[in-house]
C-alpha cells in the first residue's frame, strides 16, 4: 500500500476513456462498479464537452457479486451496440472488475456483435492513465489498421492527441497548418476526432508525427515495424524545437522545406530590453517527461532562465529525463508524490515554477509564481481562445505564459515593499487586474477585520453618503458576517449597510443582516 | 396552523414507484469525505482502495486543495493483492506513517472501497486493533464508502452510522440533530431551538471528538438530511426515538421540522410563533422574490443525493413549479414519507436508475429545468435543456429559514441565465 493524497495520473481505464472520447464512432464498454462514472465529468466539465463520453458502465453492485456480473457485462455490451451503433467497440475492466476476473474481452468476442471488438488488458494496480491511453491507441491501431498503398502526395499522420490532452485541440491545428506550409498533407490525426475507419487508413501515410509520446508512442513504434513508417522524435515546442522539427520533416519527407517565420515573435520579444530582467531567473520544471524536457530547452535557451530543477511523474520518461537533467547540471526528480515535489521545490527555492496544476497550488502555498506547462490541468487550461503551445504561434503563447506570472510577481513584490505606502497598501492589488488580489488567508479569520471601521472590504474609504457615522455593526452581527465566505462577504456588508441606511436603522443586528439578505434575495 | 396542509389531490406517499436497475450515473459514497472532513476538524479519512479512488476524491474535491488535506488513499498495489496476511500489516504501517505526520488527528476513519470490499480486507478488525493501540489519543473507526454498497450521500450515512455504537451512553433527556450542516446553518438552528427553550441539543457529527454527545433511551433525534437511513437504524438500536418530519427546506419544511421538535418538548404555540414568525416572514419574502422565474415551470430530477424528494416538495409547494419526474437513488419510507405526503400527486417517483432510459424520458419531457449530475449537465445543456447541477445542493448552505431564498435562487439562476444570454446574431 502507498499513502497518497493527490495523484498526477488517474487509473489506466481513464486513459482508455481519453482515447474513446477523443474518437468518433467508437464505444467503450467498461466493466465497473457504481461510481466509476465520476470520470465522465472530467470530460464534460474540465474539457467542457457538449456530449457524454462514449462509455457504458456495467454498474455492478454488491448484491451482483457472484455469477451475475458476467451477465451484466453482456447485457451492457449488447445494449450499447444497439443504442449507439458504433463502428467498433473497446471493452475492458476497471480496477474493481479486474479483481472479479470476468474477462470482458473474451465474453465480448463470443457475442458475435458484427463489429470489431478490441479487448483491453490494463493492469490497474501496476500502471496508470498515460499507459492506458498509449496501450488503448496501440490496440485499436493494431486491430484496425489495414495494409495499403501510400498516398500519391507526401502525407503523414499525427499521433497522440487525446481528449483531456494539454492544448491538444490547438496544437493539432497549429501543426497541421505548419505541415501544410511545408507541403505535407495530414492523412489521419489519431485518436483525436478519428473514426475506426480513419484508423484503418493510417498506413497510407508516408511517415508519422508523434505529437504526444506519452499517448502515441506504442502505436508509432508498431506502425514503424509493421508498415515501415518512420516517426518524428522532436517535439515542436519553442523556437528551437520547432526549427528542429521542421528539419526532421524535411528529412522524413525527402525534400527541402522553406519555413515561414513571419508570425514568430518570441525571439524579438525575448531579445528586447524589456526582457533583460528575465536573465537568470531560477526556474523549476515538473510535469510529464515530454513537456518538461521540451520546456527546459525553452526556459534556458529562449527565455534566458536558469533551470534549477526538473522532474517528471511518469516513470516511462525517466531515462531520457535523467540524461537531460545531467546536461543541465541538475538532479532529476522522478516521483508521483506531490509532497516530494513540494520538498524539492522548497529546497531549490526557485523564482518560478513551470508545472502542472499541483505545482500551481504548491507555488501558491510557497508564494512562488507558476505557469502551467503540462497535464494534469484544470478547467482554466482548456481555454476558449486559440492557445497552442506547439509551433511558432505556440512559441508566442509560451512567451506570454511564462512572463505573465513574473510581471505579476514583480508587482506583488513592489506591493509588499511599499506596504505602508498609501498607494500600495495591502489590499490595493495589482494595477492591471480588475479584481483585487485577496490577501492570503492565514487563519480562520479572513475577514480583514483589522481594517479601520470606515474602510470597506476593498480598503477604499466609503463615500460620505454611505459612511453614516450612525450605522454601526453590533458585535453579534459582525460575528455572523464573518461566517459568510470571504469572497461574498464584501457584497453582503455593502448590501446590509445600504439596506440599513434606506430603512433608517443605525444599529446593524443579526436580524438586520438577514432582513437585508431577504431583501436582496435573487 | 403550523402543520402544512396536505395537497388536495393527495400526496405521493402511496404513488407507484418506478424501480429501475441499469447503468447508474452517480457518485460512490467516498465523495461524502469531501464535505465531512470540513465539518469534523479533528478527523482524517483514509480510504483503502485503488488509484481510481484517489483520482475520484481529487476530481470531486476540485479546487479544494489544501496544503495538508485531511483525507488520503492507501493505494493497493500488486503485492497487496497477492497475499491477504500482509494487508493488516500494511494498514498498520500506513496508519503509523500518517499519525506520525499528523499528530493533531483525533479520529481516523478507515474507509472501505470497492477493491477493498471485493478482496475482503477486514477493516473492522484493523480499526479495533489500531484503536486499542492508539487509545486514548486517537479513535479509529471504519465504514464502507464503496460504490458497490453506497451512493454519494450514503457515504455520510455510513460514516455517522459507524460512530453511533461508540457514542457514550446517556440517560439525559436531549435532542440530537443528525446530519452534517454548514456551521452558519447549524448556528441558526441552535439559535431557534434555544429561543424556544430547548437547551440540550447536540449534533452528530460534532465538530470535534471532545464536543461529542451521548445517546440513550431518553434521546430523541431529528434528521437534518434525508439520506441517513443506516444512522436512523443505528440510533434506534441505541434506544433513541426518531421525530419524523419533512426536511427543513423552505419556510414550510423548516416550520414543520421545528414544530415536530417543539411539540415533543412541550413548547407552547405562542412561544413557537414568537420565535418563528419573523424569520418565517423573511423566508417567505425571500422565496417570493427568488422564485419569480420558477413559477409555472416544470422540473425533472435525476437521482443523486436523496435530497430530490424534499426539494421537489419545496419547489412545487413554495415556488410554484411542477415536478415531472422525481428520481432518488433510494427511498426510505420512514424518512422520505413526511415529504412524500406533502408533494402534490402527479410526478413520476422513481428509485434507482437506468440512465439511458431515464435520459430518453428527460428528453421527451423537456422540462424547463433538469436537475442532474455534472456528467450529464453540459451534454443536456447542449441539447437545449436548462440544467441545475445537483452536487452544489450538498455543499451550499440551503437548510432553514435564512437560506430559503438562496435555495430558490440556486434553481432560478440557470433559468435567468438562459433568458439573459442572447448569443444569436442581432438580425
CATH number at residue B201: 3.40.50.1980
On the 0-12 / 13-18 / 19+ scale of CB atoms within 10 A, B419 is exposed
| B294 and B275 both lie in a single domain | no
| B135 and B182 both lie in a single domain | no
Which pLDDT tens digit goes with each residue over A372-408? 999 998 888 999 999 999 999 999 999 999 998 886 6
Go through A397-424 and write b for each residue having 16 or more CB atoms within 10 A of its CB, e for each that does not: bbbebbbebbeebebbeebeeeeeeeeb
Nearest by CB to B67, which of A79, A124, A365? A365
* Domain A12-128 fold: Rossmann fold (3.40.50)
- Tell me whether residue A274 is one of the annotated catalytic residues: yes
As beta bridge partners, residue B46 has B72, B110
Q: Report the pLDDT value the prediction gives residue A435, as an integer from 0 to 100.
A: 42
Q: Report the pLDDT value the prediction gives residue A232, as an integer from 0 to 100.
A: 98
pLDDT, mean over chain B: 93
pTM (2 decimals)? Answer: 0.89
Q: Is B12 flagged in the annotation as binding? A: no
- Enumerate the domain spans of chain A: 12-128, 145-253, 265-404, 472-521
Residue B284 domain-assigned (yes or no): no
Counting the structural domains of chain B, the total is 3
CATH of domain A145-253: 3.40.50.1980
Range of the domain at B134: 29-150
**DSSP designation for A154:** -
| B416 and B298 both lie in a single domain | yes
* Distance separating alpha carbons of residues A261 and A258, to the nearest angstrom: 10
| CA of A211 vs chain B CAs: smallest distance (Å) | 26
Low pLDDT (below 70) residues in chain A = 407-469, 485-488, 522
B151–A contact, CB cutoff 8 A: yes
B106-112: average pLDDT: 97
B84–A contact, CB cutoff 8 A: no
- Could you tell me which chain A residue has the CA closest to the CA of B98? A3
3-class SS at A422? coil
Nearest by CB to A96, which of B78, B114, B377? B114
Which distant-in-sequence residues (6+ apart) come within 8 Å of B96 by Cβ? none
Q: Is B162 flagged in the annotation as binding? A: no
| CA angle (A403 as vertex; A402, A407 as ends), nearest 5 | 145
Q: Report the pLDDT value the prediction gives residue A438, as an integer from 0 to 100.
A: 43
| B38 and B104 both lie in a single domain | yes
Q: Do A59 and B24 touch (CB under 8 A)?
A: yes
Which distant-in-sequence residues (6+ apart) come within 8 Å of A266 by Cβ? A238, A239, A302, A392, A395, A396, A398, A399
Q: Report the pLDDT value the prediction gives residue B427, as an integer from 0 to 100.
A: 63
**DSSP designation for B370:** E
pLDDT of B309 higher than 90: yes
Place of cell 479495533: B128
- Chain B residues closer than 8 Å to A40 by CB: 25, 374-375
| CA angle (A294 as vertex; A293, A295 as ends), nearest 5 | 95
- Chain A residues closer than 8 Å to B48 by CB: 1
ipTM above 0.85, yes or no: yes
Which pLDDT tens digit goes with each residue over B317-353? 999 999 999 999 999 999 999 999 999 999 999 999 9
Q: HSE on the CB side for A342, CA within 13 Å? A: 18
Nearest by CB to B94, which of A1, A10, A365? A1
- Choose between B65 and B195: higher pLDDT: B195
Residue B125 domain-assigned (yes or no): yes
| CA of B10 vs chain A CAs: smallest distance (Å) | 31
B234–A contact, CB cutoff 8 A: no
B207-214: average pLDDT: 80
Q: Report the pLDDT value the prediction gives residue A443, as an integer from 0 to 100.
A: 39
* Distance separating alpha carbons of residues A87 and A82, to the nearest angstrom: 11
What percent of chain B has pLDDT above 90?
85
pLDDT of B93 higher than 50: yes
> Which residue is catalytic, options A68, A274, A400, A476?
A274
* Distance separating alpha carbons of residues A488 and A406, to the nearest angstrom: 28
| B230 and B332 both lie in a single domain | no
Residue B48 domain-assigned (yes or no): yes
| B274 and B302 both lie in a single domain | no
Residue B162 domain-assigned (yes or no): no
- Chain B residues closer than 8 Å to A125 by CB: 50, 76-78, 80-81
Domain boundary among B279, B308, B332: B279
Domain boundary among B227, B260, B279: B279
* Domain A472-521 fold: Helicase, Ruva Protein; domain 3 (1.10.8)
| B201 and B81 both lie in a single domain | no
| B398 and B295 both lie in a single domain | yes
Q: Report the pLDDT value the prediction gives residue A421, as an integer from 0 to 100.
A: 54
Residue B156 domain-assigned (yes or no): no
The alpha carbon of residue A502 and the mean position of all alpha carbons in its chain are separated, in whole angstroms, by 48
**Binning pLDDT at 50, 70 and 90, where does residue B129 land?**
very high
The CATH class of A265-404 is alpha beta
Residue B11 domain-assigned (yes or no): no
* Distance separating alpha carbons of residues A99 and B28, to the nearest angstrom: 18
| B218 and B328 both lie in a single domain | no
- Chain B residues closer than 8 Å to A365 by CB: 67
Residue B37 domain-assigned (yes or no): yes
Domain boundary among B218, B252, B279: B279
B126-145: average pLDDT: 95
Please tell me if the domain spanning A12-128 has the same topology as the one spanning A472-521.
no
**Binning pLDDT at 50, 70 and 90, where does residue B65 land?**
low
- Choose between B268 and B422: higher pLDDT: B268
Residue B394 domain-assigned (yes or no): yes
Count other C-beta atoms under 10 Å from residue A464's C-beta. Answer: 7
| B37 and B131 both lie in a single domain | yes
Amino acid at each position: 500500500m502507498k499513502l497518497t493524497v493527490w495523484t498526477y495520473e488517474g487509473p489506466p481505464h481513464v486513459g482508455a476513456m481519453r482515447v474513446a472520447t477523443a474518437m468518433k464512432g467508437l464505444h467503450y464498454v467498461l466493466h465497473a462498479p457504481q461510481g466509476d462514472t465520476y470520470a465522465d465529468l472530467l470530460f464534460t466539465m474540465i474539457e467542457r464537452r457538449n456530449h457524454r463520453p462514449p462509455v457504458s458502465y456495467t454498474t455492478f453492485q454488491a448484491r451482483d457479486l457472484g455469477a451475475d456480473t458476467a451477465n451484466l457485462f453482456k447485457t451492457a455490451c449488447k445494449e450499447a451496440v444497439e443504442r449507439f451503433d458504433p463502428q467498433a467497440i473497446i471493452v475492458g475492466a476497471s480496477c474493481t472488475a479486474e479483481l472479479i476476473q470476468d474477462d470482458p474481452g473474451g465474453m465480448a468476442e463470443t457475442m458475435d456483435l458484427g463489429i470489431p471488438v478490441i479487448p483491453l488488458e490494463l493492469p490497474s494496480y501496476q500502471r496508470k492513465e498515460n499507459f492506458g491511453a498509449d496501450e488503448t491507441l496501440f490496440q485499436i491501431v493494431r486491430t484496425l489498421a489495414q495494409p495499403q498503398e501510400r498516398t500519391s502526395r507526401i502525407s503523414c499522420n499525427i499521433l497522440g492527441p487525446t481528449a483531456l490532452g494539454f492544448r491538444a485541440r490547438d496544437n493539432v491545428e497549429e501543426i497541421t497548418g505548419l505541415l501544410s506550409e511545408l507541403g505535407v498533407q495530414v492523412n489521419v490525426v489519431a485518436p483525436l476526432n478519428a473514426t475506426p475507419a480513419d484508423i484503418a487508413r493510417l498506413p497510407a501515410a508516408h511517415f508519422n508525427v508523434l505529437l504526444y509520446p506519452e499517448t502515441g508512442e506504442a502505436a508509432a513504434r508498431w506502425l514503424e515495424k509493421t508498415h515501415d513508417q518512420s516517426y518524428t522524435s522532436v517535439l515542436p515546442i519553442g523556437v528551437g524545437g520547432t526549427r528542429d522539427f521542421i528539419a526532421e520533416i524535411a528529412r522524413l519527407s525527402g525534400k527541402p522545406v522553406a519555413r515561414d517565420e513571419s508570425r514568430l515573435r518570441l525571439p524579438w520579444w525575448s531579445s528586447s530590453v524589456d526582457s533583460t530582467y528575465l536573465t537568470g531567473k531560477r526556474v523549476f520544471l515538473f510535469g510529464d517527461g515530454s513537456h518538461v524536457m521540451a520546456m527546459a530547452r525553452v526556459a534556458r535557451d529562449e527565455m534566458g532562465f536558469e533551470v534549477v530543477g526538473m522532474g517528471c511523474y511518469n516513470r516511462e520518461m525517466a531515462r531520457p529525463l535523467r540524461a537531460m537533467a545531467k546536461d543541465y547540471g541538475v538532479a532529476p526528480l522522478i516521483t508521483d508524490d506531490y509532497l516530494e515535489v513540494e520538498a524539492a521545490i522548497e529546497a531549490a527555492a526557485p523564482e518560478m515554477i513551470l508545472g502542472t496544476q499541483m505545482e500551481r497550488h504548491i507555488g501558491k502555498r510557497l508564494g512562488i509564481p507558476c505557469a502551467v506547462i503540462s497535464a494534469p490541468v484544470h478547467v482554466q487550461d482548456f481555454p476558449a481562445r486559440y492557445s497552442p503551445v506547439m509551433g511558432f504561434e505556440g512559441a508566442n503563447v509560451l512567451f506570454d505564459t511564462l512572463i505573465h506570472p513574473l510581471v505579476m510577481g514583480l508587482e506583488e513584490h513592489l506591493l509588499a515593499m511599499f506596504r505602508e505606502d498609501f498607494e500600495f497598501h495591502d489590499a490595493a492589488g495589482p494595477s492591471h487586474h480588475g479584481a483585487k488580489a485577496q490577501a492570503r488567508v492565514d487563519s480562520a479569520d479572513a475577514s480583514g477585520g483589522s481594517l479601520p471601521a470606515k474602510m470597506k472590504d476593498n480598503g477604499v474609504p466609503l463615500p460620505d453618503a454611505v459612511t453614516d457615522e450612525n450605522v454601526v455593526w453590533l458585535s453579534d452581527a459582525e460575528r455572523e458576517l464573518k461566517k459568510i465566505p470571504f469572497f461574498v462577504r464584501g457584497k453582503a456588508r455593502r448590501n446590509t449597510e445600504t439596506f440599513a441606511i434606506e430603512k433608517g436603522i443605525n444599529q446593524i443586528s443579526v436580524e438586520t443582516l438577514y432582513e437585508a439578505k431577504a431583501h436582496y434575495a435573487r | 396552523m403550523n402543520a402544512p396542509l396536505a395537497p388536495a389531490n393527495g400526496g405521493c406517499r402511496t404513488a407507484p414507484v418506478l424501480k429501475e436497475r441499469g447503468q447508474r450515473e452517480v457518485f460512490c459514497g467516498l465523495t461524502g469525505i469531501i464535505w465531512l472532513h470540513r465539518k469534523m476538524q479533528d478527523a482524517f479519512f483514509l480510504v483503502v482502495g485503488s488509484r481510481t479512488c484517489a483520482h475520484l476524491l481529487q476530481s470531486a474535491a476540485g479546487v479544494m486543495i489544501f496544503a495538508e488535506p485531511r483525507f488520503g488513499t492507501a493505494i493497493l498495489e500488486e503485492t497487496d493483492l497477492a497475499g491477504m496476511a500482509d494487508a493488516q500489516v500494511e494498514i498498520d504501517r500506513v496508519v503509523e506513517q500518517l499519525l506520525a505526520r499528523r499528530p493533531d488527528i483525533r479520529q481516523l476513519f478507515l474507509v472501505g472501497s470497492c477493491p477493498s470490499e471485493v478482496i475482503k480486507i477486514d477493516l473492522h478488525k484493523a480499526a479495533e486493533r489500531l484503536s486499542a493501540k492508539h487509545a486514548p489519543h486517537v479513535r479509529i473507526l471504519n465504514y464502507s464508502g464503496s460504490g458497490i454498497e453506497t451512493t454519494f450521500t450514503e457515504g455520510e450515512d455510513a460514516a455517522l452510522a459507524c460512530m453511533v455504537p461508540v457514542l457514550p451512553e446517556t440517560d439525559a433527556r436531549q435532542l440530537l440533530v443528525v446530519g452534517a450542516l454548514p456551521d452558519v446553518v447549524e448556528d441558526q438552528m441552535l439559535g431557534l431551538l434555544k429561543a424556544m427553550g430547548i437547551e440540550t441539543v447536540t449534533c452528530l457529527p460534532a465538530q470535534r471528538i471532545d464536543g461529542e454527545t451521548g445517546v440513550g433511551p431518553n434521546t430523541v433525534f431529528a434528521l437534518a438530511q434525508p439520506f441517513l437511513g443506516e444512522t436512523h437504524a443505528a440510533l434506534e438500536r441505541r434506544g433513541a426515538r426518531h421525530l419524523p418530519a419533512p426536511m427543513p427546506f423552505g419556510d414550510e419544511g423548516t416550520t414543520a421540522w421545528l414544530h415536530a421538535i417543539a411539540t415533543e418538548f412541550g413548547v407552547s404555540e405562542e412561544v413557537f410563533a414568537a420565535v418563528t414568525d419573523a424569520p418565517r416572514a423573511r423566508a417567505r419574502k425571500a422565496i417570493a422574490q427568488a422564485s419569480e422565474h420558477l413559477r409555472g415551470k416544470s422540473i425533472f430530477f435525476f437521482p443523486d443525493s436523496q435530497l430530490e424528494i424534499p426539494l421537489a416538495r419545496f419547489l412545487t409547494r413554495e415556488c410554484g413549479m411542477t415536478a415531472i419526474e422525481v428520481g432518488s437513488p433510494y427511498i426510505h419510507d420512514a424518512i422520505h414519507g413526511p415529504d412524500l405526503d406533502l408533494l402534490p400527486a402527479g410526478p413520476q417517483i422513481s428509485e434507482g436508475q437506468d440512465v439511458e432510459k431515464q435520459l430518453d424520458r428527460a428528453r421527451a419531457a423537456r422540462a424547463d429545468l433538469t436537475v442532474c449530475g455534472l456528467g450529464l449537465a453540459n451534454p443536456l445543456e447542449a441539447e437545449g435543456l436548462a440544467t441545475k447541477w445537483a452536487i452544489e445542493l450538498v455543499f451550499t448552505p440551503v437548510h432553514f429559514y435564512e437560506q430559503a431564498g438562496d435555495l430558490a435562487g440556486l434553481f432560478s439562476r440557470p433559468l435567468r441565465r438562459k433568458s439573459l444570454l442572447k448569443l444569436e446574431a442581432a438580425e
